[in-house]
Amino acid sequence: MTPVDLSRTVVRAVRCAVEDGELPAAAGVPERVVVERTRPGGVGEYATPVAFQVARSAGRQPRDVALVLARRLGGEPGIERVEITGAGFLNFVLAQRSAAELVREVQARGLRYGYAPDGELRARVVGEAVERIARSQGLRPAETELRVAPVARRDADVVARYGADAAAWAMLCVPARETPAFSPQLLVQGEDSEFFRVRYAHARSRALVRNAARLGFAGEPGDVAADDAPELVRALADHPLVLEAAAHHRAPEKLARHLVVTADALLDFQYRVLPLGDEKPSAAHRARLALAEAAGTVLAGGLALLGMDAPDCL
């Protein structure tokens, strides 16, 4: 179960609880539920404060609302159990998702992995409203897609000095309220530069695929040892949640930060992908290669959303 799926499942549980009279009709059904990674003191992988949101309009204590929802959500496919912490936070322990399942989903979705489903009514209505609002202010839709685009055009000196992609990274990797830092570090071709590491990690994933082809094998989703790439698997699983949060908060820096985490995990993992010495390619090598290739796809898709290229070679 992805974070987006979990959010929709919680909304559905609230709706059913209201329809069945377990929660008063005055509680209403939220259009959207925030699901976040569990913070210190929490349980499981994800948590939501939805009980507080519903309790305000229902005239109930958050913990009472949480108990109602926990009973319903505990039996949902993909959820192993639900626990309540604090005054009413719902914490979710999800059924274990294998690396193979994750890789297959990335392969199926490609660069669109993590996107909200096409045609979702609310997403379409919101998108159309944003476009109309932009036009009311004299903006063309393309000018609202990425905040860095008009800035980069105005600041020709910055683009000329650092290049459009590096300048965009500097502007997008910090919150809008902070001033971006333009420095020679943006041009460093080394591990001290986060911008370089993200693009280099993508290039390494492509190099691994090419080198594997020379050895006569290709990636194939399969089991990856639990201690083989836990950070990378976690980063890929988090990608849909990060995209949703970046869109909801209009905060592209959340995606930029996540790409750095994904890149660093892939760069640590890359040395375990290909056979060493006289070792023959095995099912484990094919599974690791598929995981590395999936990580490259996520990096390329993330960079594309930020308006940047993901070169195959650096």
Lowest mean pLDDT among 39-43, 69-73, 190-194, 204-208: 39-43
- Residue 301 confidence (pLDDT): 93
Cβ atoms of 201 and 262 closer than 8 Å: yes
**DSSP-H helix ranges across 34-120:** 50-58, 62-73, 99-109
**How high is the mean pLDDT of the chain?**
84
Other C-beta atoms closer than 10 Å to the C-beta of 61 total 14
Share of the chain above pLDDT 70, in %: 87
Q: What are the pLDDT digits (tens) for 258-268? A: 999 999 999 99
Residue written as token pair 């939220």:
30
Task: Tell me the torsion sign for CA atoms 312, 2, 109, 224.
Answer: positive
Q: How far apart are CA 166 and CA 179, in angstroms?
A: 15
- Residue 75 confidence (pLDDT): 83
Residue 146 binned pLDDT confidence (cut-offs 50, 70, 90): very low
Q: How far apart are CA 44 and CA 81, in angstroms?
A: 9
Lowest mean pLDDT among 41-45, 205-209, 221-225, 299-303: 41-45
Share of the chain above pLDDT 90, in %: 45
- pLDDT surpasses 90 at 275: yes
DSSP 113-128: TTPPPTT-HHHHHHHH
Cβ atoms of 254 and 194 closer than 8 Å: no
User: Which residues contact residue 80 at a Cβ distance below 8 angstroms, ignoring those fewer than 6 apart?
Assistant: 93, 94, 95, 96
Q: Which of 245, 2, 215 is nearest to 106 (CA)?
A: 2
Output the CA angle 115-116-121, nearest 5 degrees.
150
- Residue 155 confidence (pLDDT): 60
Cβ atoms of 73 and 13 closer than 8 Å: yes
- Residue 125 confidence (pLDDT): 55
Helix, strand, coil percent content, the chain, rounded in steps of 5: 60, 5, 35
Q: What are the pLDDT digits (tens) for 185-204? A: 888 888 889 999 999 999 99
Pairwise pLDDT comparison (152 vs 158), residue with the higher score: 158
Q: What are the pLDDT digits (tens) for 88-107? A: 999 998 887 789 989 999 99
Cα dihedral 28/120/9/53 (nearest 10): -30
Q: How far apart are CA 14 and CA 169, in angstroms?
A: 40
Tokens of 92: 């979710």
